[in-house]
Amino acid sequence: MEVMGPNPRGEPIINGTEDTVYDTTLKFNYSKTKKEAEQRTLQANGEMLQNGGRLSTCALRPMYIYGDGCRFLLYHMGNGIRNKNVLFRTSVPEAHVNPVYVGNVAFAHLQAARILKDPQKRNIIGGKFYFISDDTPPMSYSDFNHVLMSPLGFGIQDKLLLPLCIFYILCFLLEALCTILRPFVRIVPPMNRQLLTLLNTTFTFSYQKAKKDLGYVPRYSWEEARKHTTEWLASQLPMERAKIMSS
């Protein structure tokens, strides 16, 4: 998704498609290298192979991927444990995004692979990109964490610790300090302007083109995805608590 943005101005997209016109100004290396990798992949579509065949490629752009094994969810749960079972709020409630369950992302990859291997159909998707979302309801990242973890006894902060504009200035100062210190020590700040903008920008996308061209329909409903993820988090909770108690 970050090959699309959001751009540094935090301009929103609601239910965007592959044809959505957007000022994709990417300032940070994480997004830039993703964009470059996607462009190289798509440009390679149709290249001649050594065996005389031709390479077929497409690109999938999943939303934020959640589910069993998601280290980001464990990170937020760990911080919540340290904060007396209250999750930190890092995004405003109105900044809606639409995360996608890992099982549905896997299914989308299988569908794309099947079509790329089919000589009759590969030209339909070759050289194109597709957004991959599912029926997870749009909400902010912070509220999404809370929905998954509230059955485990976690609450959430009502609002950001600081106004968003002050938060942004602090991120800028922290990035500047890390840049000054880089010749001597490399420090990766826990929050930067790109991440803060990402967490607080409405950015949702439709999977209808993937449905039409790839035959992609989510295999897991929101109810199933939420149940599987919360059960996995519950299985990790004792270990996370023990790890924090011993540290």
Model pLDDT, residue 181: 87
- Cα–Cα dist 196/160, whole Å: 12
Classified as helix, coil or strand, 243 is: helix
Residues 15, 204 contacting (CB under 8 angstroms):
yes
Torsion angles phi and psi, residue 241, rounded to 5: -65, -45
Please spell the DSSP secondary structure of 19-77, one letter per residue: T--------SHHHHHHHHHHHHHHHTTTPBPTTS-B----EEEE-SEESTT-HHHHHHH
Q: Which pLDDT does position 97 carry in this prediction?
A: 98
∠ CA(96), CA(161), CA(30), 5° rounding?
55
Name which of 117, 120, 132, 130 is nearest 56 in CA terms. 117
Q: Cα–Cα–Cα angle for 54, 57, 58, nearest 5°?
A: 155
DSSP for 163-216 reads -HHHHHHHHHHHHHHHHHHTTT-----S--HHHHHHHTS-EEE--HHHHHHH--
Q: What is the CATH number of domain 13-246?
A: 3.40.50.720
Q: Is 48 exposed, middle or buried (0-12, 13-18, 19+ CB in 10 A)?
A: exposed
Q: With a cut of 70, which residues of the chain have pLDDT below it?
A: none
Angle between helices 102-116 and 222-246 (to 10 degrees): 120
pLDDT of the residue at 149: 98
Angle subtended by helix axes 222-246 and 71-82, to nearest 10 = 50
Amino acid at 191: M
For residue 151, give the 3-state DSSP assignment. Answer: helix
| Residue 30 falls in the annotated catalytic set | yes
Percent of the chain surpassing pLDDT 90: 79
**pLDDT tens-digit series, residues 174-215:** 888 888 888 888 888 878 888 899 999 999 999 999 999 999
> Which residues face 129 on adjacent strands?
59
Looking at 22, 30, 66, 75, which residue is catalytic?
Answer: 30
3-state secondary structure of 98: coil
